[in-house]
């Protein structure tokens, strides 16, 4: 069966300087030629350090940012070619959950209005009673109660606010949700509850997720496959189990070595890879391999040629001249 989402050579550049006549002079290449697919009912993890472009990928897929290049197919439909009216219909199928549940909820609106807003925009209820019924049902689905509909976001904890964000995303009954670091602003004790809820919803509703995170440990248990991003590019993509067992790219190895292991004996003896230097600027990324300034295996060819993405078998792809 064809994948639900196909992202092909996606690019998103932001203009950072213009000539006196207003023509673009330099660009910040936030996403530079990124390709992947997401199957129906699958979770794809997208991981990388802050500023690597992972959030921009999510926002460009659903056209919160207009793309610079490339293509996104949703169930075979080219998302970037849709007009305004068609895009509104598409937004019913793809939704987004944001990192900061407080900033993403309007503090002046009641929870009932926040969750009910998408129902109003898409005219999904024929009466106020039906709309209220739908809102109560959605609140129940995310573990809140109908009484919460009359309250405001500041009256809730971080975890509850993220549940409100999930209820709002579910209001239009989407088949794909972009989860942009949905648990990184929450207490560790609450993170597992939100992950379990997202997994239950996925099972019941057959949802597909793009799960964006800055840490490989956050996507280990949630994602069937994981893509690792560095400075606007995907450097490795593999099944989750394969990636954790057999990481090939030096950057993936470094990220994995930073995850603490809850066994003091193993933790004491294992080798941690410390990455030297800072992430280079995406305004003027280095030629060849973008990771070469921080890679202890860098060779002359790494400065001359950009490593192509290679399939090393069983769906494991990596972009490194060592492989
Ligand atoms: Fe390191 Fe070269 Fe591989 Fe880049 S291509 S990760 S610089 S070895």
CATH number at residue 74: 3.40.50.300
Q: Is residue 180 part of a domain?
A: yes
Taking the centre of ligand 1 as the mean of its atom positions, its distance from the CA of residue 306, in whole angstroms, is 9
Q: CB of 13 closer than 6 A to ligand 1?
A: no
Which structural domain, as residue segments, surrounds residue 222?
Answer: 5-93+174-249
Q: Is residue 302 part of a domain?
A: no
Q: Is residue 110 part of a domain?
A: no
Q: At what angle are helices 128-141 and 111-121 packed, to 10 degrees?
A: 120
300/310 Cα distance (integer angstroms): 20
Percent of the chain past pLDDT 90, that is, above it, reads 70
Q: Is residue 52 part of a domain?
A: yes
Q: CB of 287 closer than 6 A to ligand 1?
A: no
Q: Is residue 313 part of a domain?
A: no
Q: With cut-offs at 50, 70 and 90, classify the pLDDT of residue 25.
A: confident
pLDDT of residue 284: 81
162-174: average pLDDT: 93
How many other C-beta atoms are found inside a 10 Å radius of the C-beta of residue 145?
9
Distance, CA of 284 to chain centre: 24
pLDDT of residue 266: 66
Q: CB of 292 closer than 6 A to ligand 1?
A: yes
Q: CB of 247 closer than 6 A to ligand 1?
A: no
Q: Where are the beta strands (DSSP E) in the chain?
A: 5-18, 24-38, 43-47, 69-74, 77-78, 94-97, 176-180, 208-213, 225-230, 233-239, 310-311, 317-318
pLDDT tens digit sequence for 69-120: 999 999 999 999 999 999 999 999 999 998 877 788 889 999 999 999 999 9
Q: Is residue 195 part of a domain?
A: yes
Q: Is residue 268 part of a domain?
A: no
Per the structure, the count of domains in the chain is 1
Q: With cut-offs at 50, 70 and 90, classify the pLDDT of residue 214.
A: confident
pLDDT tens digit sequence for 31-78: 999 999 999 999 999 999 888 999 999 999 999 999 999 999 999 999
């Amino acid at each position: 069966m064809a994948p639900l989402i196909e992202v092909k050579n996606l690019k998103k550049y932001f203009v950072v300087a213009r000539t006196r006549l207003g023509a673009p002079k330099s660009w910040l290449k936030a996403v530079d030629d990124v390709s992947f697919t997401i199957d129906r009912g699958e979770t794809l993890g997208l991981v990388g350090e802050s500023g690597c472009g992972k959030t921009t990928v999510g926002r460009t897929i659903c056209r919160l940012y207009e793309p610079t290049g490339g293509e996104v197919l949703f169930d075979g439909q080219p998302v970037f070619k849709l007009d305004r009216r068609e895009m509104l219909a598409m937004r019913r199928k793809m939704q987004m959950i944001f990192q900061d549940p407080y900033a993403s909820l309007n503090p002046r609106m009641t929870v009932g209005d926040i969750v009910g807003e998408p129902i109003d925009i898409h005219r999904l209820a024929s009466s106020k009673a039906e709309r209220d019924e739908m809102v109560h049902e959605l609140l129940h689905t995310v573990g809140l109660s109908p009484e919460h509909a009359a309250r405001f976001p500041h009256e809730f904890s971080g975890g509850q606010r993220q549940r409100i964000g999930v209820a709002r995303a579910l209001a239009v009954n989407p088949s794909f949700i972009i989860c942009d670091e949905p648990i990184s602003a929450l207490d560790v004790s609450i993170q597992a509850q939100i992950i379990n809820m997202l997994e239950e919803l996925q099972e019941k509703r057959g949802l597909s997720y793009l799960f964006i995170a800055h840490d490989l440990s956050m996507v280990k248990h949630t994602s069937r496959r994981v893509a690792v991003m560095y400075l606007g590019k995907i450097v490795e993509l593999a099944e989750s189990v394969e990636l954790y067992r057999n990481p090939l790219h030096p950057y993936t190895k470094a990220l994995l070595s930073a995850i603490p292991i809850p066994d003091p004996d193993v933790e004491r003896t294992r080798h941690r890879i410390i990455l030297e230097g800072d992430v280079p600027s995406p305004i003027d990324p280095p030629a060849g391999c973008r990771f070469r300034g921080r890679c202890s295996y860098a060779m002359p060819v790494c400065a001359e040629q950009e490593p192509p993405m290679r399939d090393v078998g069983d769906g494991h792809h990596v972009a490194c001249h060592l492989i």
